[in-house]
A = this chain, B = another copy of it.
Amino acid sequence: MTSFKPKETAYDHIRAVEWENGRLKLIDQRILPGKFEHLYLDHLPESAKAITDMVVRGAPAIGVTAAYAVVLAARDRYKESPGGWQKTIQADLNLLAEARPTAVNLRWAVEYMRGIINSGISGDPVPRLLAEAQRIHVEDIAANRHMGELGAALIEPGSGVLTHCNTGALATGGYGTALGVVRSGYAAKRIKEVYADETRPWLQGARLTAWELVQEGIPVTLLADSAATYLMKQGKVKWVIVGADRIAANGDTANKIGTYMTAVAARYHKVKFMVVAPTSTVDLSTPDGNGIPIETRAESEVLNYGGTRTSPEGAKAWNPAFDITPAELIDAIVTEKGVVTNPTRDKMLAMMQK
């Protein structure tokens, strides 16, 4: 199959990652919503760089992208050395796994593809690996749709919800995790109002979530991140719904910086807090949030906006890309294997073993 774009349905018309004419095709998320352009990639190193540079972002989308990048590497390495490619590709896989540190889906996808490679493939590896990448892609979307149903079922009809960052089609193979719940919940009239934090410094909420929802015809109201607490005070929000970059064995959740702010505020206001992520985001080898590495990104992301210096020379900045929300602040973790309420280590393990 030279091209692959998973099929679209109601409220679901955006694909951040595609395979087209033997190339990896990515929406360049750095320039949305001003410009809608694709990048076409033919090799693994440039694909790893696209992940580091946030052309594509969102833990599940990074995982899907990585799977396709492995196909690109296999094609190159097999061409160089039909007998030795399984050895020479190992350094590519290691490079790819390091493209970003926090999201576990990246490592999950790389190690999954490495397992296929190491188990032995005879002849041209591209058809087999491409089939695996497409399976990961399709299964991610299917998981998201299922999570959308499960998460929406928790929400009282006619509710307002708040989301943080972008967890939609742009952040996944398609449909989205937390924004998948928003899609399903809006379709089922359980969700009436969607509020989106703009999500500084990278403005995923303003640039990406708002763009996605406008594309799909779902009304969205943006707010400055710091207004989220006051919004909850107004009683306008019944649930905060977020994604995850890594969930530790006890349910502690790493997600975009600011998620913890919304969780603390939600608890204070008796608003419910839902994390939506596929089980590929759950890392049973990390016992709790203390073990999750938090990526610190460049100070310039906070000190500037859109190429304009917004702060004076001489100011420093602290720019953690993620924070940890402890399990005790989470009311429900929704995965494709089911819903875990008030997560604990035992409940998480039971869910994962389903």
Binding site for B on A (CB under 8 A): 33-34, 164, 195, 197-201, 203, 206-207, 210-211, 213-214, 219-231, 233, 257-258, 260-261, 264-265, 267-268, 302-303, 305-306, 308-320, 323-324
Contact = CB atoms under 8 A, between A and B. Distances in A.
B226 A200 contact: yes
Given A264-B268, A306-B305, A226 B258 contact: yes
8 contacts: A206-B315, A210-B311, A221-B316, A224-B225, A227-B257, A229-B264, A261-B261, A306-B306
B223 A226 contact: no
Contacts of A268: 264, 267-268
Chain A binding surface, main DSSP class = mixed
A296 to B, nearest CB: 11
A200 to B, nearest CB: 4
A323 B206 contact: no
A302 B318 CA distance: 22
* The 3 residue pairs across chains A and B that have the minimum distance between CB atoms: A226-B258, A229-B261, A225-B226
Given A257-B226, A316-B220, A317-B223, A310 B206 contact: yes
Given A207-B311, A222-B303, A222-B318, 6 more contacts: A207-B312, A214-B313, A221-B316, A223-B318, A226-B257, A230-B261
A314 B209 CA distance: 12
Contacts of A308: 34, 305-306, 308
Nearest to A217: B314
A226 B197 contact: yes
A226 B33 CA distance: 22
A229 B260 contact: yes
Nearest to A202: B224
Contacts of A303: 206, 222
Contact of A265 (B34, B233, B264): B264
Given A210-B312, A306-B305, A311-B206, A200 B220 contact: no
Contacts of A311: 33, 198, 203, 206-207, 210-211, 222
A226 to B, nearest CB: 3
A215 to B, nearest CB: 8
A328 B216 CA distance: 43
Contacts of A201: 224
A319 B260 CA distance: 22
